[in-house]
Amino acid sequence: MTIVITGATGHLGKLVIDSLLQRGVPASDIRALGRNADRLAALRALGVETRVIDFERPETLDDAFRGADVLLLVSSSEVGQRVPQHRNAIEAATRVGVGRLVYTSAAKATESTLVLAPEHAETERLLADSGLTVTVLRNNWYNENYLGTLETAAATGEIVGSAGDGRVASAARADYAEATATVLVTPGHEGAVYELSGDTAWTFPELAEVASDLLSRDVVYRSVTPEEHGSILTGAGLDEGTVGFVVTLDGNIRDGELADATSTLRELIGRPTTTLAETLEQAREAAA
């Protein structure tokens, strides 16, 4: 069986490969793809086949995808460029007859107002029209997305945002990677669309409580209006595009777009998902 992984040197892709190897998948059955040959070298040293690709250079894709029993298309990290990049990948997968394609999408991509959803929704449409056998993994937020928030809280004693009472059903990146590995190597996922999330959804005041415990200092959540939030971020030196993204995302959270906790991720990995507190604590210990 040949398992092809795009974005193999990124956070999620590397963890998927780690999970596959831990499951006993032979390294020779894995083909890791990425843009940076130097970063791929570490995987090659494990016995994994590697190829350099670029979604914006379709001529690099066909040979890299050829012979894949299953291809994991990890969504591109380049927001705003995902649709043409994913289109190139899907067209290449179709040309060479990939057995099955697994795509990492976003929560409720086709019905959500989440700021990141439109590119994922269009990618899912392209996949539906491709004729390929597809599995879609709609990942909720990552716990690790709040490592920077924890650092700010350590310095200021505050977490500032405009998410109000909104909830986030996040899980650890490794949880999503383990579920992805399960879907790659076990049967019965053809045509499935999985909504994946942590077991519980937390609020930002609860994040502040977690930060207080981890940092051994008082941390409070200061809820502000979107306008105030934008002004604060601009004053901190963030560019207009980043400010707009962050404020819009907090609005999405306030509106409940990341609040739905499902049991699917837990069922795929066979254990409870990793809590926000556990992830942040593990990250702090690793950095110590």
Q: How far is CA 43 from CA 5, 40, 173, 210, 271, in A?
A: 12, 5, 19, 35, 28
pLDDT of residue 9: 94
Say if CB 159 and CB 211 are below 8 A apart: yes
Is it the case that residue 176 has pLDDT exceeding 90? yes
Is it the case that residue 283 has pLDDT exceeding 80? yes
Query: What's the token pair of residue 277?
Result: 């507190």
CA 215 to CA 150: how far, in whole Å?
9
Say if CB 103 and CB 75 are below 8 A apart: yes
Q: What is the pLDDT of residues 237-258, one digit of tens each?
A: 999 999 999 999 999 999 999 9
pLDDT of residue 270: 97
Q: What is the pLDDT of residues 67-119, one digit of tens each?
A: 999 999 999 988 889 999 999 999 999 999 999 999 999 999 999 999 999 99
Say if CB 74 and CB 10 are below 8 A apart: yes
Q: What is the pLDDT of residues 18-34, one digit of tens each?
A: 999 999 999 999 999 99
Q: What integer is the mean pLDDT of 212-238?
A: 96
Is it the case that residue 278 has pLDDT exceeding 80? yes
Is it the case that residue 133 has pLDDT exceeding 80? yes
Domains of the chain: 3-139 (3.40.50.720), 141-171+197-260+274-288 (3.90.25.10)
Q: What is the pTM of this model?
A: 0.96
CA 22 to CA 14: how far, in whole Å?
12
Place 169 in a pLDDT band, splitting at 50, 70 and 90: very high
Is it the case that residue 288 has pLDDT exceeding 80? no
pLDDT of residue 13: 97
Q: What is the bridge-based pairing of β-strands 49-52 and 30-34? A: parallel
Q: What integer is the mean pLDDT of 205-226?
A: 97
Q: What is the bridge-based pairing of β-strands 220-223 and 167-168? A: unpaired
Q: What is the bridge-based pairing of β-strands 134-139 and 193-196? A: parallel
pLDDT of residue 26: 98
Place 55 in a pLDDT band, splitting at 50, 70 and 90: very high
pLDDT of residue 37: 94
pLDDT of residue 107: 97
Place 284 in a pLDDT band, splitting at 50, 70 and 90: confident
